[in-house]
Structure 1
Amino acid sequence: MNLRIVQLDDDPRASFPPVMQALADPDGLLAFGGDLSPTRLLNAYRQGIFPWFSEDEPPLWWSPSRRAVFRTDGVHLSSRRRRELRKSALVVRADTCFRRVIEACAHLPRPGQDGGTWITGAMVEAYVELHRLGHAHSIEVFDGGALVGGLYGLAIGRMFCGESMYSAQTGASTVALATLAMRLHAWGWPLIDAQVPNGHTRRLGVETWPRTAYLQALEALRDSDGLPGTWTRDFGEIHASSLARPAQV
């Protein structure tokens, strides 16, 4: 690690360094230390910064030079997937079991993690608290009464900052993402921040934006009227089969 990166003050209200000071290698590393209090986390996301670190590390704060962004009208489902969804019994809800979703994301085996996770116990508790305060939200996919997939993230004005998603049933996380995008688009929310691109999100239509373009979009959305509090009623209950409709036009 480059030891010249900024160590954050203990005061959760203390400012982050300008994001353009983030390192090029590793890309986007901006600062370390501090805590995961709601004040600090919300301040970070409002500036395009997010925490990402392992259990044996201090909090590390990132703002990568290239940002993965979904347009809410741009999540791509293949024709085959849409055909499969026409007969799907999956149902999608919001904010009915946040802790179960984030803990499932934390414990999902992922390539290269060697049994570890960046969603540490401290991270789980921090985002559960943000959920209690009405800032963090879970999108949940059910097959009957069983939770089979989902995602979670933060609402910053009219920007949804996605954190992680998981599937216990093939394609369930994709259903969560596509349903979230459909609902956000109907609400007039244009973008979902996906942080860094990977092969899966690229197949779903994620775009890779320069940091400056992402920050401009965030600045335009972060102070907009959002939807504070629980989303359960406003989100409603959405049948995954509704995702097949565009393919039928």
Structure 2
Amino acid sequence: MYYLSPELFFPPVDQANRDGILAVGGDLSPERLLLAYKSGIFPWFENGEPIMWWSPNPRMVLFLDELVVSKSMRNILNRNSFKVNFNQNFRDVIFNCQNIERDGQNGTWITNDMIEAYCKLHELGIAKSVEVWQDEVLVGGLYGIDLGHVFCGESMFSKVSNASKVAFIALVNQLKATNYKLLDCQVYNPHLESLGCREIDRIDFMEILKSK
């Protein structure tokens, strides 16, 4: 494991350990965060821990044409009971991602420092959000890092059934329309798999990330 100095540097991702941890330390400056995502690396740690930088192998991704929208979900979308915005309430989205209760999870990895760091990236046009509304109430959303050809998803939240799926599908449709190559979902979970995401080798992920 590499211990970062103040120098703006990350080791090659193939030096990550078996769990995917590549480095420890550094800071959450916009410059370091952007370098991390461009290098296939992301921060993931909890309050009281040092900053930990990850590059897991395999990598969970969505090839945009492989999005799975169930019949029941299509029916929900056709009802138009949700309104979707992009990049209008970034801070509210990340705050809800921090505070939403999740089954089997105590606490959150989205620290207050993380919120401020990603809000700075949003001000720079790098971090983006999707907001889902129902009856003028923010009920779901997601946020991530936009690299121009790959979108790196960070977290989602849902206060009513299917709201996060609506955000995810809206994002994928927008990415498809603007010729993005991939949605990076970082690590496996069954919810993502149900939407069509799958694991690929880190080498393959890096090839796509480095191509433009």
TM-score (ref. length: structure 1): 0.83
Q: Which runs of 5+ in 2 are unaligned?
A: none
* AA of the residue aligned to 2:30: P
Cα distance in 2 for partners of 1:40, 1:60 equals 13
CA RMSD of aligned residues (A): 1.0
* AA of the residue aligned to 2:126: H
Deviation string, structure 1 residues 135-163 (Cα, Å, up to 9, x no partner): 00000111131111000000113110000
Cα distance in 2 for partners of 1:157, 1:216 equals 15
Task: Determine the structure 2 residue equivalent to 1:29.
Answer: 21
CA contact (8 A) 1:50 1:63 kept: yes
Deviation string, structure 1 residues 36-71 (Cα, Å, up to 9, x no partner): 000000000001000000001000000001101112
Cα distance in 1 for partners of 2:76, 2:136 equals 21
CA contact (8 A) 2:93 2:141 kept: yes
Query: What secondary structure, in the 3-state scheme, does the structure 2 residue paired with 1:112 have?
Result: coil
Query: What secondary structure, in the 3-state scheme, does the structure 2 residue paired with 1:48 have?
Result: coil
Which protein is bigger by CA-based radius of gyration?
A: 1
Task: Determine the structure 2 residue equivalent to 1:89.
Answer: 81
Give runs of ≥4 in structure 1 deviating > 6 Å: none
Q: How does 1:218-229 map to 2 (within 5 A)?
A: 218-221=209-212
CA contact (8 A) 2:181 2:208 kept: no
CA contact (8 A) 2:77 2:166 kept: no
Matched, 1:204 2:200: no
Matched, 1:176 2:167: yes
Q: How does 1:1-249 map to 2 (within 5 A)?
A: 5-11=1-7, 13=8, 15-24=9-18, 27-114=19-106, 116-221=107-212
CA contact (8 A) 1:19 1:63 kept: yes
Deviation string, structure 1 residues 196-231 (Cα, Å, up to 9, x no partner): 01010011100110000000000013xxxxxxxxxx
**Identity fraction in percent:** 46
Deviation at 1:108, TM superposition (A): 1.0
* AA of the residue aligned to 1:177: F
Number of aligned residue pairs: 212
